[in-house]
Structure formats: C-alpha cells, structure tokens
Structure 1
Amino acid sequence: MGETTGTTRTAGVTGSRESERYDVVVVGAGAAGLNAALVLGRARRRVAVVDAGEPRNAPAAHMHGYLSRDGMPPAALLAVGREEVARYGADLIDARVEHIEPAGADADAGAGPAGSAAPGFVVHLAGGPVLHARRVVVATGLRDGLPELPGLVERWGQDVLHCPYCHGWEVRDRPLGVLGTGPGAVNQALLLRQWSADVVLLAHTLALTDDERERLAARDVRVVEGRIVRLVSDDGRLRGVELANGQVVPREAVFVFPQPVPRDALLFGLDCARDDNGWVTTDRTGRTSLPGVWAVGNVADPRAQVVTAAGMGAAAAFALDHDLAAEEVERAVVRYRASGAAVPA
C-alpha cells in the first residue's frame, strides 16, 4: 500500500477540507497530540491536528530525558513530528480552537469516514471554520504561572529554570539558587544539591519551619533571608539575585517552582469531571468522563515531560482506535441483521 500525504494549512483557507468528517480531531500539536495523531494515522484513521503555535517549552534551547532525542531543540522535534504525521495522511491545521460541542443526536455531523452515525463533536475554529469529528483528543498543555519578579521572565528557560531533570546536568557544579516563591522551593533546593555543592535557598517570603531548616542545613544548602527585588543580568547572562537590602547574591542559574495552569478551557466547556485540585480526571488512557473525549499531556498531568506526554498520546490513540472499531462492529451487526442475511453456520 502506498503512503498518503496530509496537508498543512491555516484556518480560513477556502476549500473542501472544512466540510470533511474526521474520525479524530486532535487539539494541540505538542508531543502528546502529535504522537496520538501518528498512531491513529498508521491505523488508517482520518485525523486532523489543530494547533495555535504556542508550545510551552518554546523558550528552552534543548530538551532532555527523551531516549534518542536527548539534547534536541524542542522546535526540531515538533517539526519532525509534523512531517511524520502528515506522511500518514493527517491534516495539520494552524489555528486556534474556540470551543467544542457535542454534535447532537439527530445530526449526521459526526458521522465518521467509516460510516458511523455517532453524534460526535463539532470543533469550532477561530475565524469560522468548523470541523466534525467522531472523537476528540485535547492536548493543549499548560502555561507556567511565574512569580512577578523583574528580570525573571526574560531569562526563563535559559538560566531561570524549573526542572532539575530537564536542565540540572547543564548547570552542574555551578552556583545555583532556588527562589523561595512557593512551598515547593525547599524540596527543590534539597534535590538540586546532587547537581551542585553550591546551592542557596533565597527565602524571599517563605516562613521556614525548624524541620525544614534542619534538613537544609544537613544537606549543606545555605539559606539567605530577605525579600527578592529582582534578578540581575548582564551581557545576556544571569549574574545574581538582588535583595531588598541591596545585597546581590551571585548565582549563575536559579530554579523556581511555577504554578502550573492547565489550558483546559475546552474541557471546561465540555463539562468534563475534575479532581479536587481542578484538574481534569482521566483513566490510564486519557479518557475523560465525557464519552468520546480524551485529554493527554500536560493539560491532564502537570508533571509529564516530553517523553511522558508522547507516551500518553500513544496510549490514548490505542484506546481511541479500539473504541472506534467497537462502534463500527456494533453498527455493522445492526446493518447485517437488517439486511435479513442468514448467520453463517
């Protein structure tokens, strides 16, 4: 069987694509969404991937912890992924999804290419185009809620970092700081000690307990008191952290624990169930409480790294294909019985 080739386009392009039905519409072309689309494309499913072009890891020069892709620029991974997905016939659409709604039981809008009459979903793109899908995968990721400290955003992803497993090796044995802007800072400082012998916790607004101070001292992590005023940079490099008393604590890299904020408005609009912390709940395949909707990657798990998110996308695709196939078999049996054909002995 010869290979098929998908298309890349922007929303609003006139043509027949907007009126076609898809087995699956994937929202988000990060590692999770692209890997889901890859597996589904290889299963000969009709797939569209819609992406607004706002990857979370865009500020990072390299990604790590992904076997065979360690050190690869995130943008390069996504470019290769898009090429691979298109090779199996998926449509890649550069657009923003405004909202998703169930198609309605009396409409054939969700009828898939394989002949299913399932209600499905209507996916509304910014600017007017509408896509119809039997199933939906939401892989829209999250955004990092960063503390409002002057100089921090400018260095984010370079020498202002979050994940030791992503960036710890690159700053090993250098003077490191941890910004005390949240409750995760103490554990972050304790963990970073294995990458450097010079780790400082800048307490900022944290009220450290005696137990925390003891653990930090035992780990040889120095605590510097005082409110942080700004991060000091020079010649495109972080130089230190300035405190309210004017002291500048020299540091070559600092770590901060951001507040993960899921980009889950689409799931909220579909009324998918959430846990006590407000995150969408899913089963191990990413299936949400709403039949036909899957959520994968950082929109469902803030701890997922790139390799983890890719695996989540694959798991969802396997489950999705089984779900679609089961529906097709059931409907085929109904048609078969309606035809009056005798059951083979």
Structure 2
Amino acid sequence: METYDVIVVGGGPAGLAGALTLARARRSVLVVDNGTPRNAAAGHVHNFLTRDGTPPAELLALGRSEVAGYGATFVTGTAIAAKPDGDGFTVALDDGRELRARRLLVTTGLTDELPDIPGVAGRLGRDVLHCPYCHGWEVRDQAIGIIATTPAVTHPALLWRQWSADVTVVLHGQPAPSAEDAKLLAARGVTVVDERITALDPDRTAHLSGGDTLTRDVWVTPTRMTARDELLSGLGVETEPVKMGDVEVGVAVKADANGATSVPGVYVAGNVTDLRAQVIVSAAAGLNAGAMINADLVMADAHAAAG
C-alpha cells in the first residue's frame, strides 16, 4: 500500500497551499482531486493580491506546478472513504485503490444550494451571482435583481447598492422588511417587490407570481452553503450550523483555528470549514493547516525516535 505523510483531499487553493507548505517541509504529500471546484463557472478570481482577474483554472494550474516542483504527487479522482489505520488512515479512491497517510488534510469545499426556481440552475457565477465582493465591480451600474431566500434581505440589498443605484429586491415569499429596514432601503433607492418568481428566462427576465415580468441585467441570490463532508462524516468528524445574525446560512465542518477537527490527525481548510472564505482566505488557511500538520508530525517523529 502506498504510504504518505499526508494525503490532501481537494486540489483547490486551500489544498494546494497546504500541500505546498508540507512539501516544502520535506513531507511526502499526495493530492487527490476530482476537478470540480466551486468556482469553475466563474470567469475570474478577484481580491487575490497580484492575481486579481486570473481565470480559476489558470490559478490552479500555476499552483499545481509549484506544488509538483517540491515533489508532491497528484491523483485525479475522488476519495470515497477513509478509516483509521493504526497511527494513520487508509483512504479509498473511486478507482479501487487504497492509500495510507499519517495525517489527512481535507479541503473539499462546499455546495451552493440555489432557490428552486425554473431557469436558475446552472447559472451561478454567470448571470446569477451570490457575492458582491466577487462580482460587484464587474456588474457596477447595471440593473440588479435580488431574490430573497431568507428573512435577512436588508443587508444584502444595501451591500449590492454600493455597486449600483438600480437595485430591486423580490421577496419571493420572505417577510417584508421591518418599518425601520424599509426606511433604510427606501433612503438608498432600493425597490422591494412582494411577489414570488415563478421562472427565470435565459434573457434574465423573471416571471412574477402576479403575472408581471421583471428583467434585470443580473440576478443575485444568497445561497445555502453546505460543506462537502462526505469523507469526513464517515470518520465521525463533527459539523455545525453557521449563522449570520439570527439566520442559518449553512453547515460547516467544526475545526479550531489551526484546522484541527474533532478527530485527531484529521485537518480541514477552506470552504469546507469556513463558508465565507474567498480564494485568498482559503489559501491562507491551507498554509496554516499545513504548518500545523507538519508540527504535529515533528512531535510524533521525535517521540518515536525517543522510544
């Protein structure tokens, strides 16, 4: 059985940064990645200092090249199961292989759950957006429509108003804003429509429950974010709900500031544990987790040598 110091599951920015840190620490590292990054549909990565505007695939290719240069290896595939094995873990891949690692770094990201509106699926990152810091500059001064998915509609509406003076919120079954919030929205020129969207056409025209239509240059909807934790749940790693204010926005893997989970030897980084992390934040978290894993292994090696 092939054995590594660390198997990194997930080859996005968090996983590659962790692998880079570990490989530079002279650890044997294998990165398992199935090529399904969360931001695959996005045209560019933003807010990444010195790399703003880089296509996601190009950024990952650069990262893989750097990591490979320090001796790490890559497998294209999916890790479907993991189990404790002595002082490490056995990882099963979808091609039937089993690999062994002393430590695991899981950076599998999250899944965005969109509202169940015909015509919305498959458009996230193109003309259905979720993050103003990721896309706001690119749609500045355009007509923006926000599909409410939680009662917390005021904050996202005021955020997007920073990039455009033409913002309309469709409540889509959510409660109307309070009198105080309505005053804030009106003061900033945000229109609120108390109807549901029954379908969204390819030309970005929304069909409303009252029979009217509303066409916007771009639509925005907050997503419910769920950690891709299938591999981790089999190990008994804990998850926890994530809230913004009083609203639950998703579920993430529970970990400390260093990425250590509730299962010794299993670490996480990136969106699987931090739902709001952008690319540069995920990369930083991967570096941090990689350093902590190396420190863990340093102590294990010293104890083994001391007998």
State the TM-score bracket (shorter-chain normalisation): over 0.9
Contact residue 185 and residue 256 of structure 1 kept, 8 A: no
C-alpha distance in 1, partners of 2:82/2:304?
25
**1:242 lines up with 2:207 in the alignment:** yes
Q: Are the structure 2 counterparts of residues 228 and 72 from structure 1 closer, same or farther at C-alpha, using a change threshold of 3 Å?
A: same
C-alpha separation in 1, matches of 2:284 and 2:73: 21
TM-fit CA distance, 1:58? 0.6
Secondary structure in 2 matching 1:233: coil
Q: Give the Cα separation in 2 of the matches to 1:284 and 1:198.
A: 40
Instruction: Tell me, in whole angstroms, the C-alpha distance in 2 between the residues paired with 1:121 and 1:323.
Output: 15
- Kept after mapping to 1: 8 A contact 2:226/2:252: no
- Report the alpha carbon displacement of residue 186 of structure 1 after superposing the two structures with TM: 2.8
Which deviates further from its counterpart, 274-283 or 312-321?
274-283
1:332 match: 305
Count of residues paired in the alignment: 298
Name the structure 2 match of 1:307: 280
User: Are 2:31 and 1:31 aligned?
Assistant: no
Match of 1:64 in 2: 46
In the TM superposition, what is the alpha-carbon distance from 1:45 to its structure 2 partner?
A: 0.5
Q: Give 1:251's aligned residue.
A: 216
Q: Distance in 1 between matches of 2:151 and 2:85?
A: 44
Question: For 1:203-242, what aligned pairs fall within 5 Å after superposition?
Answer: 203-208=171-176, 209-234=178-203, 238=204, 240-242=205-207
TM-score by length of 1: 0.83
Q: Which moved more, 1:223-232 or 1:209-218?
A: 209-218
2:292 pairs with 319, 329, 332, which one?
A: 319
Q: Which amino acid aligns with 1:307?
A: I
For residues 183 and 92 of structure 1, the distance between their equivalents in structure 2, rounded to whole angstroms, comes to: 44
Counterpart pick for 2:126 among 147, 154, 158? 158
Bigger Rg, which one = 1
Query: What secondary structure is seen at the aligned counterpart in 2 of 1:322?
Result: helix
RMSD (Å) for aligned C-alpha atoms:
1.3
Q: Does 1:202 align with 2:178?
A: no
CA distance in 2, matches of 1:159, 1:129: 40
Residue 276 of structure 1 deviates from its aligned partner by 5.0
1:149 maps to amino acid: I
Question: Deviations along 1:218-274, whole A, 9 cap, x unmatched?
Answer: 22211112111112223xxx3x32212332212101110011011011111111233
Give, as a single letter, the amino acid of the residue that structure 1 aligns with 2:240: D
Find out whether 1:42 has 2:51 as its counterpart. no
Separation of aligned partners in 2, 1:154 and 1:322: 42
Matched, 1:121 2:94: no
User: d(CA) in 2 for partners of 1:275 and 1:155?
Assistant: 28
Is the 1:193–1:221 Cα contact (8 Å) retained in structure 2?
A: yes
Give the secondary structure class of the aligned counterpart of 1:36. helix
Counterpart among 263, 272, 277 of residue 290 in structure 1: 263
Q: Distance in 1 between matches of 2:209 and 2:252?
A: 36
**CA distance in 2: counterparts of 1:243 and 1:92, whole angstroms:** 48
* 3-state DSSP of counterpart to 2:31: strand
Q: Does 1:86 align with 2:72?
A: no
- The answer on whether the counterparts of 2:151 and 2:175 sit within 8 Å (CA) in structure 1 is no
Unmatched 5+ residue regions in structure 1?
A: 1-18, 105-118, 335-345
CA contact (8 A) 2:46 2:54 kept: yes
What is the CA deviation profile of residues 173-224 of structure 1, one whole-angstrom value per residue up to 9, with x for unaligned ones?
1111110222343311111111111111111111113333222112221111
**After superposition, where does 1:98-109 map in structure 2 within 5 Å?**
98-104=80-86
CA drift at 1:57: 0.5
Could you say which residue in structure 2 is the equivalent of 1:267? 232
Distance 2:57 2:144 in 1: 27
- Percent identical pairs in the alignment equals 47
For 2:223, the aligned partner's letter is: P
User: Which letter does structure 1 place at the counterpart of 2:23?
Assistant: G
Any stretches of 5+ residues in structure 2 without a counterpart? Answer: 243-250
